[in-house]
Chains A and B, each alone.
Chain A
Amino acid sequence: QVQLQESGPGLVKPSQTLSLTCTVSGGSISSGSYYWSWIRQPAGKGLEWIGRIYTSGSTNYNPSLKSRVTISVDTSKNQFSLKLSSVTAADTAVYYCARDKVAVAGTVLDVWGKGTTVTVSS
């Protein structure tokens, strides 16, 4: 079965760029009708959708983050990545990657990584 694993630095300095990678195992990132998403959750708070990518490279971003976010995919490595620029303490959160599966209509987040904590601090 498909599994997702986030990786990247756990500590990022303010104003720098947060970079995370999600490695997909147990299946090809290019197979099936799937998008690949990023979601984050500040400690003790709710979930915020960051954006998603299709293996063609087509993306959708949350407008609240759009000017700072880039999501990319590397099908040869079975990975997709998140870059968030000009970070501040407000970007401190657990970051999850997830598979966005085409459902009856629309897409739903059916497989999630375990999450990785990113702290923005000098």
Chain B
Amino acid sequence: AIRMTQSPSSLSASTGDRVTITCRASQGISSYLAWYQQKPGKAPKLLIYAASTLQSGVPSRFSGSGSGTDFTLTISCLQSEDFATYYCQQYYSYPRTFGQGTKLEIK
């Protein structure tokens, strides 16, 4: 199985900050990468797929980049509703695998 490793595991930031989360795959996955946001007690929500394509309805302050093994999720101007846990997921091969998550907390 492809191992997905996110960094950092947790991150403290303030409203208005720009933050970047990194995801690394244990082998090349082309651009078969998605990002999800999960708030406590809620299901994950798809933000980005194909590494950089914004899901319909997701604010443009979210962006993704990368290909191969290294990927990033950037939030350009943090809003209060963005404090959550973020997961990357590869869909290049089976089994689908997720990163361990990055918890974004208010500073």
Contacts and interface: CB of A to CB of B under 8 A. Distances in A.
B44 A62 contact: no
Contact of B50 (A48, A49, A105): A105
B43 A48 contact: no
Say which size band chain A's interface belongs to: 20 to 34
Interface in A83-107: 96, 98, 103-107
B97 A110 contact: no
Interface in B78-107: 87, 89, 91-92, 94-101
**Chain A to chain B: the 10 pairs with minimum beta-carbon distance, closest first:** A112-B43, A49-B96, A62-B95, A108-B49, A47-B98, A106-B91, A104-B50, A108-B34, A106-B32, A103-B49
Interface of A: 46-49, 60-64, 96, 98, 103-110, 112-115
23 contacts: A46-B98, A46-B99, A47-B36, A47-B44, A47-B87, A49-B95, A49-B98, A61-B95, A63-B94, A64-B95, A96-B43, A104-B50, A105-B32, A105-B50, A106-B32, A106-B91, A108-B34, A108-B46, A108-B49, A108-B91, A109-B34, A109-B46, A114-B43
Interface of B: 1, 31-32, 34, 36, 42-46, 49-50, 53, 55, 87, 89, 91-92, 94-101
